[in-house]
Amino acid sequence: MSATLQAVENSALIDEVFSAGYDFITGVPDSYLAGFLSALAAHERADECFQPGTREDNCVGLAVGAYLAGATPLVFMKSAGLGTCVDALTSLALVYRIPVVLLVSWAGHDGRDVPHHNVIGRPAPAMLQALGIPVLRCRFGDTAEIAEQLRAALKEAVFAGGPVAVLCAPGGG
């Protein structure tokens, strides 16, 4: 896929994120999310809706605070970041039933990644489910599928009153 086409698709995905109702976005950069992050940072609503983070647990805390202030939060991270934010998820989002959606780039999802990605990637869905966090899945490269899963995750998070994760595997495979 050409860089121009990827940029257009990422821009369309950001438009879909906003049209789905998300109005507070935070997260920690990841190589799989680079196009998403670039499109988000360039979006006309970035100054009012985007707060980059440095740690996944801090981003969950920011999202919970934003929700309590009336926003609809989305937190993006790499799968390794799930371990970093377990305490914030369990002590804030789960206990207080905060509908936070997590967009997780799922490195190590198939066990064919670098060892440290495989260690967290393989058990990521089971780990989230053990915490009581529903899991939806998609693949990078399919903008429509990602947008659909983010919409579904938001509906489920609001209905169930708690976090929902969208695990997004690297494209194609």
Mean pLDDT of 96-114: 85
Q: Domain segments of the chain: what residues? A: 3-169
pTM recorded for the entire structure: 0.92
**Residue 33 gets which letter from DSSP?**
G
- How many C-beta neighbours within 10 Å does residue 59 have? 28
**Within a 13 Å sphere around the CA of 39, how many CA atoms are in the beta-carbon half?**
21
Hey, CA dihedral for 57, 61, 67, 72, is it positive or negative? negative
Q: Which residue has the tokens 């579904």?
A: 152
Residue 133: name the closest of 169, 97, 170 by CA. 97
Q: What is the pLDDT of residues 59-94, one digit of tens each?
A: 999 999 999 999 999 999 999 899 999 999 999 999
Contacts of 123 (CB under 8 A, 6+ apart): none
Q: What per-residue confidence (pLDDT) applies to 173?
A: 40
CATH architecture of the domain 3-169 equals 3-Layer(aba) Sandwich (3.40)
Q: Determine the average pLDDT of the residues in 19-46.
A: 92
- For the chain, the first-to-last Cα distance in angstroms comes to 15
